[in-house]
Each structure stands twice: as C-alpha cells, then as structure tokens.
Chains A and B, each alone.
Chain A
Amino acid sequence: MNKRYVMVHDENKCIGCQACNVACRSENDVPEGVTRLQVRVEGPFGEAPDLHFKYHRVSCQQCEDAPCVTVCPTGAAYIDENGLVSIHNDKCIGCMYCVAACPYKVRFINPITKAADKCNFCKDTRLARGEQPACVTVCPTDALYFGDANDSTSEVAKLLNTKITYQDKTHLGTKPRVYRVPTKRGGIQS
C-alpha cells in the first residue's frame, strides 16, 4: 500500500453548515435524492444551559476492513492501491448486498449509473487532479483535514498524533479511516 488516506473531522470547528454536502454534490454530480456526504446536527443533548449539539459527519468511513468489499459477489467493490474503498461501476449488478452490509449506512444505488455509490474522497475528480477533496476545499471553518497518514510530515499525521480522536463503531473491527475530534462540550476534552 502506497498511501493511507485519512480524513479528520474536527467536531469543535464544524458548524453543520452543509457547505461540504453541497460541494460534494457539485464536484461529483451526485443526483438529487441520494447523498455521499452530509453533516447531521444532532441534539441538543444535556440539560440546559449545559446543552450541546453533535456534528456527525455521515459518509463512507473508508474502512480498512470493509464489509461492503467482503460481501460484494462480483468484485465491483474493491480496495485500490492506496487503500481507498472503490467501485467498478461496470462490475456492479445492483444486488445491494453492500448497501445492506455497510454498518455506517452510507452506500446507495446511484439512480443514474444504477451502480452502488458513496464517498471515495473525490478520488476520480479532485484527487485525480492533485487537489484536496471538495468538502475539505470549501469547509468554511477548516473543520476537515485530509492527507496521507503514512507521511509523518503530513498535517493529518500530526493531528492524529496530537489530538484525541475517535472513530465510529470501532467495535465492529472495520478500522474506519475517518477520524473525529470530539467536541469539548460532549465532556471529552481533546
């Protein structure tokens, strides 16, 4: 594996504004009615005045051990040379096993291509042009970081070494590569 692309979502900086959602749709031509990425503003939790929202990034977690890949009967779902969970549209038969298997509920059948679809860190679009993913590019409050965690000089590597982070549903052994910096208001100090 050459690279280990990861995304870090700082929930302290995130304001749930959906700029990432819109940029993702524009860059990747995501059809109406389905979504690769959104931030759900959940809550408020707690007792007033000590309330807090949770800013929950909902998108492909780029699992290192990806259930969607394991269950795919045709090899349409695969992991590429840089570890990105990807889809061969031509090989997809629309059986939706992957949709059902994904513990994060972020895969869907694209109504235009009729193939399974989800966030791939803008692999075909922005990454291919040497740019950062669309969501990272536009994030108004710089809440998103993207890069190669194998490169110890990268911003993400430094972040992972210095900040408390968590990943979603790690007990499933999926090893997600979307890391989250928990909000201070949630009780965990980062």
Chain B
Amino acid sequence: MIQLNRRHFLQGAGASGATCALASILPGSLAAIEKQPLKGVSSEVASICEMCSTRCPIKARIVEGKNVFISGNKEAKSFGGKVCARGGAGHSLLYDPQRLVKPLKRVGERGEGKWAEISWDEAYQFIAQKLTAIKQQHGAESIAFSSKSGSLDGHVFHLAKALGTPNTFTHASTCPGGYVIAAKAMFGTKMKRDLGNSKYIINFGHNIYEGINMSETRGMMQAQMDKGAKLVVFEPRFSVVADKADEWHAIRPGTDVSVALAICHVLINDNLYDKLFIEQFVVGFDEFAAEVKQYTPEWAESVSDVSASAIRRIAHEYASHAPHAVVDFGHRATFTPEEFDMRRAIYAANILIGNIERKGGIYMGKKASSYNKLAGEQVAPELAKPGVKDMPQITAKRIDQVDKQFKLMWSSGGIYQSIIDASLDAKPYQLKAWIMSRTNPMQTLTDRSKVEQSLKALELVVCCDLYISETAAYADIILPESTYLERDEEIFDKSGKNPAYYVRQRAVETIGETRPSWQIFKDLGEALGLEQYYPWENIETLQLMQVNRDHNLLKHIKKLGYVSYGKPLMLREPSMVKEFVDAYANARHVDHDGTFATAMKFKTPSGKIELTSAQVEDMAPGRGVIKHRPVQLKQADELYFIQGKVAVHTNGATHNVPLLSNLMSSNAIWIHPITAGRLNIHSGDAVQLTSSVGSEEGTALVTPGIRQDTVFAYMGFGSKNKELVRATGKGIHCGNLLPNVVAPICGMNLHTTGVKLAKI
C-alpha cells in the first residue's frame, strides 16, 4: 500500500478517502454520453474564472485541443497573473464525468433521485407551460427567481422582469449583504479597501488568506511583507489570517461590534479623530459621539473577552498611522443578528480617521464616466448599457417588501430567506414556483429542513446548474449550464482606482449539450412568448451594443482579456491627484489642499457620509444611530458554532470537482483541548453537534486554535443528496445547524448559533 502512504492531504482538514469510484453512471452526465474529440479554440485564451465569485482574470492554455493549464492574466496587475487552487482546477470541473451535460426531468418524487434525460425543447416547453398556467392562476409574482450574483444574474432577472415578477434574489443576504447595505446607508454606495497600501490593518475575521480574493490577498501580503504593515486580527478561531497576523485576539463570537465601537470610543475620547474631515464630509457625528461615550474598552472587554488595554493600545496605534490605516469591513460570515450596526461601527472607525479616498484606506470605484469627467477628456471608453424598452410594469410587491426597514435591500439582492416563509406559510403571499440558476440554498440559506420543505411545497422548481447540487436534487427540471471555460459573455466593468474592463471567453468547444445561461434564459423567454424583450441574437451582438459597434475596441478587449485605462486615482490623495492633473491638461481644478476632495459624491439623502442616518431612523425607528444591542446567540450550556472558508473550496459549489474533492472532501469539527477533555473526545472521534434546528455527526479535530466555548467547521460540506457522489455524506452540513434568522435592516441570515457537543 505504498501509494496510499504517499498521499498526504491537508492536515486537520480531514483526509479524503480513496479515489471515488462511480457507483453507477449518472443519467445526463458527461460519463453517459459518447466521448468526442475536443477542439481547442486557440492556444491561449484570456478569460474570467468562475470557480468562486471573485471572478479573477485568467488565461487558459490549450494543448492538443484540451484545456490543460490555467494561470492568471498578467494584464491585470493587482492579480499578478496568479490563480488559487480552485481557479487552477477549472479543467477538472470541465472534464468531470459526473458533470451534467443533458437536461434532466424528475420522474420520481421530489428529491427521490429518479431522473430522465430530455431534450432542451421538451425542457423549455414543460417549464413554459407550467409558468404560464401559474402566472394565469396566481399572478407572475408567485414565481421567484434566484441566481448567483455576477455574470448571469442579469439574464435570469431579465426573464423575471419580462414575465412580470418582482421576486428576484441573489445570494446577498447569505453573503455580502451586510457590509453592502451598511455602506449604502453611510456612503450611498459600495466601498473598496486599499489593503496593499495600508500601514495598519485591523481585521475582524475576514480570512482572505483562506477565502482568497486574489488582488486583496496579494495586496495584504505585500503590505505585510514588503511594506511592514501591522495586522491585528480579532477572530474566535486561529485561522491562516490569524497566523499571519502580528496580533491575534480570540474574540468571543458575535461580539465584534463591541470592539469596533470601543475603538471608535477611544478615537473620539482621546481626540484621535480627523475633525476637519468630519466637519466637511460627515453628518451625524454628535449623535454618534454621544452614543459611543458609554462604549469604553473596559465595557467591550466584559462583552468580548478582548482586553481593554489591548483595545486602547490598538486604537492609538491605528490612529498613529492615519489616514493610511484601515479596519477591514469583512465579508461573508454574519456573526450576529446585529450585522448592520457591526458593519456600520467598522465603517465608522474608518470614517473617524479620515481614510476615505486615501492610500491604504477605503475608496469608491472610478468608472469610466466619472473618471473621464475628472480628466476632462475621454481617457477610457464608456460602455453602453443595452437596455430593452417597454418592459412590463410590475405593480406587485416583493415578498420581502412587507417591512420598510429592509428598503435598502430590495434593490441589492433581496432577502433570500423570505422565499421560505412565502413558500411554506404564504407570508406575505403564496409562492408557487422557484427558478434558480447556479445557487445552492440547501447549503447556504440556513435551516436546511425548512428549505427542503419549501422546495417540496412548490408547484414548480427549476434549477440551472453544472451538477445535481443538493438543491437541484429537488428540482422538476435541471438545465445544464456550460462551464465558464465553454462560455462567451458580455464585457464586465472591473474598475477600481481607475477604469477597467474584462471579458469571459470560451477556451474550448462546448462538451455535450450544455448551453450558456444567457441562451438558456433567452430560449425560455421565447418559449414563454416573450420574444419582444430579446432584441439581441447572441453574446456577440450584446458585446457590440456595449462598445457602440466599435469593432476595434471589442477586438482589443478580447485580445487582452483585461484592459485598464488611466492612472490609479484616489480623490483625497495629493500625490495621486498631482499625477492625474499632470497627465490630463483639461483635468478638473484642484482644491486648495491639492486634492479632489470636493469632487467626492455620496449618494446619501444628505449628500454626505452619514455616521448617523435619518433615512435608517425613518426605516426603523431607534436605529438611526449606531448602537450596541445585546444578542443571545447560544444557551448557557451550549457552545458557539461558527464556520469559515477554506482555500480549496467555494461555499456550496465546488465539493464535487474531482481535483478539489481529492484535496479535501470532508470538514472536521475543531474543538479546544479543554472542552474535548471534559467529554473525553480525541481527534478522529465521531462526535455529534445538535442545534435548535438540526443535528450533524462529524469527526473531531482537537486543537488549541479555537476558543474553549466555540466549535468550528469549514462550510459547504456534508451534502445529503446521493447524486453529488464525491461530496455526499462527508463531513458536517453547516446549513443544517443554523436557524433561519432575518437580521434587522440588512436582512442577513445568521452564521453563529449554539450547539451541544457529544461524543458518539
């Protein structure tokens, strides 16, 4: 068995078993169709990755007609021509024999796993007939559409609009919604962070060394290693980012908001904040200052277990590096139902040191139109938005539109969880159909059993996906989408400090009978008699509309795959503004302080940064001012259960990709040695976690890298449908342990809960 000994896998991640043999060939899978010779499009194609939602610029090398090596696209400088393990494994997805390449129709009960291969026409006709009948009987609003955000949601939601339903949802409320909505309330728009130029970074568990976002991961590592930036991490678990930090504080789960507020308290109390910036650009400072007066570091210590002296020292160190310092506003994990004020408190700590539009701080994206205006000339081409005139007027309210506190979320992806109540309890009205594209709510929506019941309760469930995902297993029809390596798509705006565009292009000819989602949802629209809303023929026509028929520009973008224009610009950074003005003779006049500060535009009601928000106060009385509210995340006899990302998988999406599954197919449960000792648990023991909504059995990993009162598992594992052969039944299913919660204002679901731990 010498070979087996040679297989070293990720330590502590749960070693994968022997090679997965296919028990039987799945219907509609690549293995089920005849093998055909593959034809490469050219020797190297620049495109966009889709192994996660960061969508890094890539290059795919084709040898003998086969895509063999994926690297980054060096045209995108901040990405450095690099890819992560997931990005590098794209070909493993492409050629996976278990991938779906033919439409499937359910022939047994929902979730029973009985499928028949059908033609695309049959699939479209079936769906169109059902949808037409449902629309006639119950109104178009009884049909919900949900999609992974990004390249394809536009096409999915265009069909929703053409059909006349307002109910469209992205994964926002399960992932980035909290920090997006908080930014919308405070700045009127999303913000970006300039980690690469930061000299002092405070991080609340935004684990970008495991949840890799290439340009940010690289930026932070360069700041740390080449420029001597200090990194402070507050996280209940010893993650890779905690390991790379100069300081790690094992904060109590869900109490980040108290530390962020205490940092604000110190900044104000010790006079460390940028008064001039606040006076000029911020409203609501006095109310905020009055509120945070009570949030002393000593108080925060009693809530969070982070020592008061450390908080005070960190706040001073942070301020001493102002404005080239940042508190990272984070990503997916929703630590607490008070997500909105947690993210607002973090933004507040940035606003107080005036790091907005400064190197190493946070800034707004500079798209071509605003950049050109500042330059006084056409530095970057502006893309047209191919719109469709006379779309149907939709009068029905969204299912998440019952409470105006969620107003900001309606146009930012919606509250995904509201599909559960609308499907099961007709709240606020009955949903009848759910059309999904590349989304796996069984993994990501929390309270798996409720999601399962919802899927069973509906009249029609359609999934467009690459695999029979845990969610697709409950569909009536599964529409197999082509992988990203087989798809052409529109040009996307990738502007950061200066305008940039990039484009996804097919690297290989389509395998089997899959179709790109733009075509699937156009075909479906036409099957529904909605042809008038599809004035374009294909992606090429859409691309030409985008570039205003400038063939040379399109050729240029396609050749390089990623193009950027002009010089990086941050509006309040004098050196950047000077370079900008020197380059463009007709540039906007410079303010007396040598910046473009007065050119900053905040799309808030006041036109300024709203540290305290009258708009939010109106949406939810009592919530205008950022405030700490105690929450109970677990019972006294329970442990906190938290999750996180791992570098070799993406949420609920990649666990069946052969190469990645071989690297890591299961998630162990991290338990502190003292906690484990009390229950006589050793690494490798079978243990059970039980929460208020579910129970999961997994394998213990006893490690000092976790708080005593907390257990941790990487998310996305433990699928329960038999079709996902490599992933099913391996590890614990996090969504099955998390209760269905809707956080105030931002509508987020929740990723921290209480569990009981037992040895089996």
A residues with a Cβ closer than 8 A to B are 12-13, 15-19, 21-23, 25-27, 32-35, 38, 40-44, 47-49, 51-53, 58, 96, 99, 105, 108-109, 111, 134, 137-142, 185
Say whether B82 contacts A19, CB under 8 Å.
yes
Contacts of B190-246 to chain A: CB distance below 8 A? 209-210, 212, 214, 217-218, 221-222, 225, 238, 240, 243-244
Q: Which residue from A23, A51, A109, A140 sits with its C-beta under 8 Å from B212? A: A140
Q: How far is the CA of A25 from the CA of B662 in the complex (A)?
A: 12
Q: How far is the CB of A147 from chain B (nearest CB, A)?
A: 17
Say whether B7 contacts A138, CB under 8 Å.
no
Say whether A15 contacts B88, CB under 8 Å.
no
- The residue in chain B whose Cβ has the minimal distance to the Cβ of A110 is B3
Q: A17-B647, A34-B6 are in contact. Are A49 and B218 (CB under 8 A)?
A: no
Residues of chain B within 8 A (CB-CB) of A47 are: 704
B133 within 8 A of A: no
Q: How far is the CA of A43 from the CA of B11 in the complex (A)?
A: 8
B389 within 8 A of A: no
Q: How far is the CB of B414 from chain A (nearest CB, A)?
A: 33
Q: How far is the CA of A44 from the CA of B12 in the complex (A)?
A: 10
List 10 A-B pairs, minimum CB-CB distance, nearest first. A17-B647, A22-B88, A15-B209, A18-B85, A108-B6, A141-B221, A22-B85, A44-B705, A19-B85, A140-B82
Would you list 7 pairs from A and B whose C-beta atoms are within 8 A, ordered by A residue?
A17-B209, A17-B648, A26-B91, A41-B12, A140-B214, A140-B217, A141-B209
Q: How far is the CA of A25 from the CA of B18 in the complex (A)?
A: 17
Contacts of B660-694 to chain A: CB distance below 8 A? 660, 662-663
Q: A12-B225, A13-B225, A26-B91 are in contact. Are A18 and B8 (CB under 8 A)?
A: no
Q: How far is the CA of A138 from the CA of B86 in the complex (A)?
A: 12
- The residue in chain A whose Cβ has the minimal distance to the Cβ of B217 is A140
B68-76, B114-122, B291-299, B361-369 - the one binding chain A: B68-76
B80 within 8 A of A: yes
Q: Which residue from B87, B210, B238, B662 sits with its C-beta under 8 Å from A51? A: B238
Q: How far is the CA of A182 from the CA of B8 in the complex (A)?
A: 22
Say whether B662 contacts A32, CB under 8 Å.
yes
Q: A32-B19, A33-B19 are in contact. Are A41 and B83 (CB under 8 A)?
A: no
Q: Which residue from A23, A35, A42 sits with its C-beta under 8 Å from B11? A: A42
Q: How far is the CA of A44 from the CA of B88 in the complex (A)?
A: 27
- The residue in chain B whose Cβ has the minimal distance to the Cβ of A140 is B82
B257 within 8 A of A: no
B89 within 8 A of A: yes
Say whether B70 contacts A26, CB under 8 Å.
yes
Say whether A35 contacts B244, CB under 8 Å.
no
A-B pair number, CB within 8 angstroms? 140
Q: How far is the CA of A15 from the CA of B11 in the complex (A)?
A: 13
Residues of chain B within 8 A (CB-CB) of A53 are: 240, 243
Q: How far is the CB of B205 from chain A (nearest CB, A)?
A: 15
- The residue in chain A whose Cβ has the minimal distance to the Cβ of B242 is A51
Say whether B243 contacts A185, CB under 8 Å.
yes
Residues of chain B within 8 A (CB-CB) of A25 are: 659
Residues of chain A within 8 A (CB-CB) of B3 are: 33-34, 108-109, 111
Besides the contacts A15-B217, A19-B83, A25-B659, what 13 more A-B pairs have beta carbons closer than 8 Å?
Answer: A12-B244, A16-B10, A17-B210, A18-B663, A22-B85, A23-B88, A33-B19, A34-B3, A41-B10, A43-B705, A49-B249, A53-B240, A108-B6
Residues of chain B within 8 A (CB-CB) of A27 are: 68-69
Say whether A141 contacts B71, CB under 8 Å.
no
Say whether A137 contacts B218, CB under 8 Å.
no
Residues of chain A within 8 A (CB-CB) of B70 are: 26
- The residue in chain B whose Cβ has the minimal distance to the Cβ of A40 is B11
Contacts of B42-94 to chain A: CB distance below 8 A? 68-72, 80-85, 87-89, 91
B323 within 8 A of A: no
Q: Which residue from A35, A111, A138 sits with its C-beta under 8 Å from B72? A: A138
Say whether A16 contacts B658, CB under 8 Å.
no
Complex interface bits, B1-39 against A, C-beta within 8 A gives 1, otherwise 0: 011111111111000001100000000000000000000
Complex interface bits, B249-276 against A, C-beta within 8 A gives 1, otherwise 0: 1100000000000000000000000000
Q: Which residue from B12, B81, B238 sits with its C-beta under 8 Å from A137? A: B81
Q: How far is the CB of A136 from chain B (nearest CB, A)?
A: 10
B703 within 8 A of A: yes
Say whether A41 contacts B11, CB under 8 Å.
yes
Say whether A18 contacts B647, CB under 8 Å.
yes
Say whether B243 contacts A52, CB under 8 Å.
yes
Residues of chain A within 8 A (CB-CB) of B663 are: 18, 21-22
Q: How far is the CA of A96 from the CA of B210 in the complex (A)?
A: 37
Q: How far is the CA of A171 from the CA of B426 in the complex (A)?
A: 72
Say whether B212 contacts A58, CB under 8 Å.
no
Residues of chain A within 8 A (CB-CB) of B704 are: 44, 47-48, 51
Q: How far is the CB of A184 from chain B (nearest CB, A)?
A: 9
Q: How far is the CB of A52 from chain B (nearest CB, A)?
A: 6
Q: A15-B647, A19-B85 are in contact. Are A134 and B210 (CB under 8 A)?
A: no
Residues of chain A within 8 A (CB-CB) of B641 are: none
Q: How far is the CA of A166 from the CA of B385 in the complex (A)?
A: 56
Q: How far is the CB of A92 from chain B (nearest CB, A)?
A: 15
Residues of chain B within 8 A (CB-CB) of A21 are: 85, 663
Residues of chain A within 8 A (CB-CB) of B87 are: 19
Q: A48-B238, A142-B80 are in contact. Are A38 and B659 (CB under 8 A)?
A: no
Q: How far is the CA of A133 from the CA of B83 in the complex (A)?
A: 14
Q: How far is the CB of B251 from chain A (nearest CB, A)?
A: 11
Q: How far is the CB of B88 from chain A (nearest CB, A)?
A: 4
Residues of chain B within 8 A (CB-CB) of A22 are: 85, 88-89, 659-660, 663
Q: A17-B210, A48-B250 are in contact. Are A109 and B225 (CB under 8 A)?
A: no
B179 within 8 A of A: no
Q: How far is the CA of A44 from the CA of B5 in the complex (A)?
A: 23
Q: Which residue from A16, A33, A51, A139 sits with its C-beta under 8 Å from B705? A: A51
Residues of chain A within 8 A (CB-CB) of B18 are: 33
Q: How far is the CA of A53 from the CA of B210 in the complex (A)?
A: 14
Q: Which residue from A13, A111, A137 sits with its C-beta under 8 Å from B71? A: A137
- The residue in chain A whose Cβ has the minimal distance to the Cβ of B68 is A26
Q: How far is the CA of A33 from the CA of B70 in the complex (A)?
A: 21
- The residue in chain A whose Cβ has the minimal distance to the Cβ of B661 is A32
Q: How far is the CB of A60 from chain B (nearest CB, A)?
A: 12
Residues of chain A within 8 A (CB-CB) of B705 are: 43-44, 48, 51
Q: How far is the CA of A27 from the CA of B60 in the complex (A)?
A: 12
Q: How far is the CA of A99 from the CA of B6 in the complex (A)?
A: 10
Say whether B2 contacts A96, CB under 8 Å.
yes
Q: A17-B84, A18-B10 are in contact. Are A44 and B209 (CB under 8 A)?
A: no
Q: How far is the CB of B287 from chain A (nearest CB, A)?
A: 36
Complex interface bits, B690-708 against A, C-beta within 8 A gives 1, otherwise 0: 0000000000000111000
